[in-house]
Homo-oligomer: A and B are copies of this chain.
Amino acid sequence: MDAFTKWESEIRGYCRLYPTVFKSASNARQVDENGKSYVDFFAGAGVLNFGHNNPRMKEKLIEFIQNDGIAHGLDMHTTAKREFIERFAATILEPRGWDYKMMFMGPTGTNAVESALKLARKVTGRQTVVAYTSGFHGMTLGSLAATANSYFRNAAGVPLNHILRQPYGCEKPCIGCTLGCGMDSVERLRAEYEDSSSGLEPPAAFLVEAIQAEGGVHVASAEWLQAVEKLAKDLGALFIVDDIQAGCGRTGNYFSFDGMGLDPDIITLAKGIGGFGTPLAMNLAKPEHDKHWLPGEHTGTFRGQGLSFVAGVEALRYFDDDELMNDVKRKGEEMQSQLQAIVDSYPDHTFQVRGKGMMQAIDLGDGALVKAIAARCFENGTLLGGCGTGGCTIKLIPPLTIPDADLQEGLNTLREAIATEIGEAKAA
């Protein structure tokens, strides 16, 4: 590991949690250079919904490379891009009766959020964006302003402005939380906007995740999301759903908010849409907003990635029928019930299970404990990590395609690691 220590920046993070060198991967398994195989409950931070080295994608990628496909096309028209656009429209948009425009930008989630905020500000001529406690939206200055976590915010070095922070609308309150989440907060905010002596200017947009992934797997209620959308529309503000980590099938539907009766003005997507771990980001924006863009006003060198389009098309095929999504629901319920059983076996602790579909989490309320459990899981062959405030919550986001046996092995490893660490903590 010398090369990393000698030459790589001190900012490196996950490699400190997983002190080995990985060499290959397949579906829900990562293998290090010593041949040790790990169950992957992390899936590249939610990117690898369809598994590492998905065989259908491998085949198409190799064929594309061999045929000299356009790997890098800026925003020129390419056949690969056309196929992706047509497939996305046919599979995702048209069945929902939607006419969103697809916008490609620099291929990372933060670029998607930055361009969504630009568009909302252009459309409304306003500056402030409402964002939520525990929200995560990226690391560049525009999206970082909307991100809540102070660990990331403190690195900005300049003030992060033009954001109004509000409590998030969890469907069930987190243990000990007194942030005043839920429906009341939307009504309080409405009252403030309606009062010209409240000191608030009307906002450009409300930026919300239907499920906060990095922020600790907080699941918003449909009722609250509807209320936020209604407030946004009443104020002439855009309603933006950031579905970068929770979208692309993770929760048992393509979008994390499917079936809630929402009608977002902009939807941000990244992570999973490139399919293979190949970078891609895309916003869906209503045509009446999208038309405010001038050509090339927001650019990004890598906004037309051929490999991502090719693998992304294969990813979309999983949504041609309900097989994968039904499987996600089934496995998600299995995960949740096993996690709940763990919680129930510690009646003296105030643990909590939260999640939807195959994003499930167990909140232990103790970041050091989570760290110890993750280290033990790594040792015992399962990759997982913490999230949320102080890293108190273990987040499980395996590939959606994980075999049942791997899923069970990972859950067993986790159950045992918790038992050991809590035993050790008691003994200490």
Contact = CB atoms under 8 A, between A and B. Distances in A.
A256 interface: no
A251 interface: no
A346 interface: no
| A interface, size bucket | 35 or more
A53 B65 contact: yes
Given A85-B4, A178-B188, A155 B118 contact: yes
B188 A107 contact: no
Interface stretch (A24-32, A229-237, A316-324): A24-32
Interface stretch (A146-154, A219-227, A356-364, A404-412): A146-154
A133 to B, nearest CB: 5
A296 B13 contact: yes
Given A158-B127, A196-B151, A44 B301 contact: yes
Contacts of A388: 197
Given A127-B158, A155-B118, A10 B295 contact: yes
Integer count of this chain's copies in the complex = 4
Contacts of A103: 8-9, 11
Given A53-B68, A71-B278, A76 B148 contact: no
Given A110-B300, A141-B114, A195-B389, A30 B70 contact: yes
Given A127-B159, A131-B199, A159-B161, A48 B72 contact: yes
Interface in A29-72: 30, 33, 44-48, 52-53, 58, 61-62, 65-72
Interface in A195-216: 195-201, 204, 215-216
Interface in A101-141: 101-111, 114-115, 117-118, 120-122, 127, 131-135, 139-141
B71 A389 contact: no
B179 A198 contact: yes
Interface in A291-310: 291, 293-302, 305-307
A188 B12 CA distance: 35
Given A71-B52, A184-B180, A13 B299 contact: yes
A195 B86 CA distance: 41
* Nearest 6 A/B pairs, CB to CB: A121-B157, A72-B277, A13-B296, A148-B199, A141-B142, A140-B140
26 contacts: A4-B77, A9-B101, A11-B296, A21-B79, A25-B69, A58-B66, A72-B277, A106-B106, A114-B141, A118-B155, A122-B157, A133-B199, A140-B141, A140-B143, A141-B145, A147-B199, A148-B197, A150-B198, A150-B201, A153-B199, A153-B201, A159-B159, A165-B192, A197-B388, A270-B301, A277-B306
